[in-house]
Homo-oligomer: A and B are copies of this chain.
Amino acid sequence: MKKYTVAILGATGAVGREMIKVLEERDFPIKELVPLASARSAGTTIKFAGKDVTVKEVTPNSFDGIDIVLGASPNSIAKEYAPYIVKAGAVFVDNSSAFRMDDNVPLVVPEINPDDVKLNKGIISNPNCSTIITLVALNAINKISPIKSIVASTYQATSGAGAGGPLELEQNVDDIKEGKEVTPKVFPYQIAYNVIPQIGSFLDDGYTTEEMKMQNEGRKIMHLPNLKVSCTCVRVPVVRSHSISVSVICEDALNVEEVKAAIAKEAGCRLYDDPANKIYPMPLVTSDQDLVFVGRIRKDLITDGAICLWCCGDQVRKGAATNAIQIAELLTK
Contact between chains at B302 and A228 (CB < 8 Å): yes
Interface size, A (range): 35 or more
B residues near A52, Cβ cutoff 8 Å: none
Contact A296 B196 (CB under 8 A): no
Alpha-carbon distance A173/B297, docked complex (angstroms): 31
Considering the complex, which residues of chain A in the window 156-201 have a beta carbon less than 8 Å from any beta carbon of chain B?
Answer: 169, 173, 177, 188-190, 193-198
What sequence of 0s and 1s flags, for each residue 285-315 of chain A, a beta carbon within 8 Å of any chain B beta carbon? 0000000000111111110000010100000
Contact B197 A298 (CB under 8 A): no
Given known A-B contacts A206-B256, A206-B296, A228-B301, A197 and B243 have beta carbons under 8 A apart: yes
Q: Contacts A151-B302, A229-B302, A301-B230: A310 and B206 contacting too (C-beta < 8 A)?
A: no
- Inter-chain CA distance A276–B208, complex, in Å, is 11
Closest Cβ–Cβ distance, residue A248 to chain B (whole Å): 11
Q: Which of B151, B155, B237, B297 contacts A234 (CB 8 A)?
A: B155
Q: In the complex the two chains form, is B206's CB within 8 Å of A301's CB?
A: no
A36–B155 Cα distance when bound, in Å, is 40
Query: A198 and B278: CB pair below 8 A?
Result: yes
Q: Determine the chain B residues whose CB is within 8 A of the CB of A215 once the complex forms.
A: 301
Q: Are B195 and A155 in contact (CB under 8 A)?
A: yes
In the complex, the answer to whether B188 meets A298 with C-beta atoms within 8 Å is: no
Question: Most chain-B Cβ atoms within 10 A of its Cβ — which of A169, A193, A230, A282?
Answer: A193
Instruction: Name the one of B151, B188, B198, B237 contacting A247, with C-beta atoms under 8 angstroms.
Output: B151
Please measure, in the bound complex, the distance between the C-alpha atom of A7 and the C-alpha atom of B308, giving whole angstroms: 43
Q: What are 8 A-B interface contacts by the 8 Å CB criterion?
A: A151-B151, A155-B234, A189-B282, A193-B239, A197-B280, A228-B301, A232-B308, A245-B245
**Told that A153-B232, A188-B278 touch, could you supply 16 new A-B pairs with CB distance under 8 A?**
A151-B302, A169-B193, A190-B284, A194-B283, A195-B243, A195-B282, A196-B282, A197-B280, A197-B295, A197-B296, A206-B275, A206-B298, A207-B301, A228-B302, A230-B308, A236-B237
A interface residue numbers (CB < 8 A to B)? 149, 151, 153, 155, 169, 173, 177, 188-190, 193-198, 202, 205-207, 215, 228-230, 232, 234, 236-239, 243, 245, 247, 256, 275-276, 278, 280-284, 295-302, 308, 310
